[in-house]
Amino acid sequence: MAQPQNNHAQNLGQALPSMIKRSLIVLAIASIIFAPTLLLRLQVSKIENTLFIQYRWVFFAIGCALILVWRLIYEFRAWQRANVPLKASSRPQSQESRFAPYVGPVLLIAAILLPFMPFTDRYILDISILIVTYVMLGWGLQIVVGLAGLLDLGYVAFYAVGAYSYALLAEHFGFGFWICLPLAGVFAATWGVILGFPVLRLRGDYLAIVTLAFGEIIRVVLLNWRDFTGGSNGLSNIPRPSFFGIPFSQGPDGFAATFGLEYSSLQRMGFLYFLILALALLTFYISSRLRKLPMGRAWEALREDEIACRSLGLNTINTKLSAFAIGAMFGGFAGSFFAAKQAFISPESFNFMESATILAIVVLGGMSSQIGVVFSSIAMVGGIEALRQLQFLKAIFGPDFDPSSLRLLFFGLAMVIVMLWRPRGFVSSRVPTVFFREKKSVGSSMISQGRG
């Protein structure tokens, strides 16, 4: 935008007063925003349960100073851009890295080898299971959001349907995990259709808020239908999955004894890890095949322009419903795995923040990039763990401070920044799935989308 022109070029001394003026305005706005949050803290006194106000000038000053510094840097760089001649197109719009084709296989091999590594302990396995679960959920949601362009804010409802259907089927009918897994998928997909059907005619943003409302309805029902779902106490003693009928127990017919191994509780963890890895890979395989089928093409076309789709005779109802159902089905699979792994579920695991987390993974991974979901899941779960390590912050913020609770703060911020900076996410540059003669990738910054 800012072309270097001589009459606009100013030396720094001339530009400085207006730069400082603008920075001070920003500082004033920041101080208004920080006044009721950083500066004035409402404290509940423990004795009388009344409120009093605590002044925190240090936090306030730090917050304002950070904003001021950021703005000054921003002003300086804007001045630089306007005055220093631009290098001709410094960076190509997108480049396929030479290593790009190897990233997926390397990650897969690393994922398969992980449980056999000498440094792998219970903690690492636990984290890895969590990461892979999020990867799977991310891939599932990606079908709905990234491919079909339907913003689903209630994805966790299908996760909940899967989890509760396994838990309830196991409790009432004594079904095993391997029977319940497909059933959970079917139930979740059915719910996907039930939800999808009435909202088909709605535009994208209405759809978002309806799915949000639907997710909340499911959660509230789970919370209050105590006879059936156990209410806020949740369901416990959910049977754990067995290795094709062989339980992971210490007894003579257990997994370890059958295969002549020494018993270790890590075997169950390892099995769970491979189970979710297999489920995730199944999701990956199916969704990447679907992309190349007419159905997947129709999803992408629908995302780009719904009116054009209808004009060309696509059945938008079936297209949307199939996206909803298939996305929901993978959510259901993941949910039933979650129930089996935790052996305990309660409605609190399925709140809106969980939906937002999964959505954030898809968004940060670049909406339609499958490998991006893997990276953003690793970054997110890893980020939470890293935050948990920051115990020294307790010394600054007081003993009540839990660093890991900052994660959602960073999520929100990251979602905004990614959308502003790279609307297609960090990893992705969109590659057209249909191409003529030669595959060309289109840089993310060049894409603007039609109405979806």
Partner 1 sequence: MDYLAQQLINGLTLGSIYGLIAIGYTMVYGIIGMINFAHGDVFMVGSFVSLICILLFGITGSTDIVIGIGILMIVAVIAMAISGVYGWTIERLAYRPLRGSFRLAPLITAIGVSIFLQNFVQETQGARVKPLQALFAGGFTLHEGTEFTVRITYMQILIVLLTIALMAGFSLLISRTSLGRAQRACEQDLKMTQLLGIDVDRTISMTFVIGAMLAAVAGLMYLLYYGVIDFFIGFSAGVKAFTAAVLGGIGSLPGAMIGGVLIGLIEVLFAAYFSSEYKDVAAFSMLIIVLIFMPQGLLGRPEIEKV
State the minimum distance, in angstroms, from the CB of residue 160 to partner 1: 15
| Interface with partner 1 (CB under 8 A), residue from 409, 432, 435, 440 | 409
**Does residue number 295 form part of the binding site for partner 1 (CB under 8 A)?**
no
| Interface with partner 1 (CB under 8 A), residue from 143, 153, 272, 280 | 153
Max CA-CA distance within the chain?
A: 88
**Does residue number 363 form part of the binding site for partner 1 (CB under 8 A)?**
yes
Structure tokens at 253: 């017919």
**Does residue number 38 form part of the binding site for partner 1 (CB under 8 A)?**
yes
**Hunting for tokens 């670049």 — which residue is that?**
366
State the minimum distance, in angstroms, from the CB of residue 256 to partner 1: 44
Per the DSSP assignment, residues forming a β-bridge with 345 are: 235
State the minimum distance, in angstroms, from the CB of residue 153 to partner 1: 7
CA atoms within 13 A on the CB side of 425: 24
**Does residue number 1 form part of the binding site for partner 1 (CB under 8 A)?**
no
Contact 152/320 with Cβ under 8 angstroms? no
| Interface with partner 1 (CB under 8 A), residue from 42, 88, 395, 396 | 42
- Nearer CB in complex with partner 1: 257/387: 387
User: Which listed range, 79-87, 115-123, 325-333, 413-421, lies at the site for partner 1 (CB under 8 A)?
Assistant: 413-421
Contact 422/443 with Cβ under 8 angstroms? no
| Interface with partner 1 (CB under 8 A), residue from 4, 12, 24, 36 | 36
- Classify residue 426 as exposed, middle or buried by CB count within 10 Å of its CB (0-12, 13-18, 19+): middle
71: part of which helix (H) or strand (E)?
Answer: helix 57-83
**Does residue number 432 form part of the binding site for partner 1 (CB under 8 A)?**
no
**Does residue number 157 form part of the binding site for partner 1 (CB under 8 A)?**
no
How far is it, in rounded angstroms, from Cα 268 to Cα 337? 13
User: Which listed range, 196-204, 285-293, 376-384, 435-443, lies at the site for partner 1 (CB under 8 A)?
Assistant: 196-204
Integer angstrom CA distances of residue 15 from 44, 66, 119, 181, 439: 48, 22, 57, 65, 46
State the minimum distance, in angstroms, from the CB of residue 50 to partner 1: 7
Instruction: Pick out residues in 331-360 that bind partner 1 (CB under 8 A).
Output: 352-353, 356, 359-360
Contact 191/256 with Cβ under 8 angstroms? no
State the minimum distance, in angstroms, from the CB of residue 253 to partner 1: 46
**Does residue number 419 form part of the binding site for partner 1 (CB under 8 A)?**
yes
- Core vs surface per residue 7-19: b (16+ CB within 10 A) or e: eeeeeeeebeeeb
State the minimum distance, in angstroms, from the CB of residue 62 to partner 1: 12
Q: Which of 275, 288, 12, 257 is nearest to 132 (CA)?
A: 275
Beta strands 344-345; 235-236: pairing state: antiparallel
Extended beta strands in 131-284, E state: 235-236
| Binding-residue pattern over the window 43 to 72 for partner 1, x denoting contact by CB under 8 A | xx----xxxxx-----x-------------
CA atoms within 13 A on the CB side of 21: 5
Judged by CB under 8 A, how many residues of this single chain contact partner 1?
69
Q: Where do contacts with partner 1 occur on this chain (CB under 8 A)?
A: 29, 32-33, 35-38, 40-44, 49-53, 59, 145, 149, 151, 153, 198-199, 201-206, 208-210, 212-214, 216-217, 220-221, 223-224, 307, 352-353, 356, 359-360, 363, 400, 405-406, 408-409, 411-416, 419-420, 423, 447-452
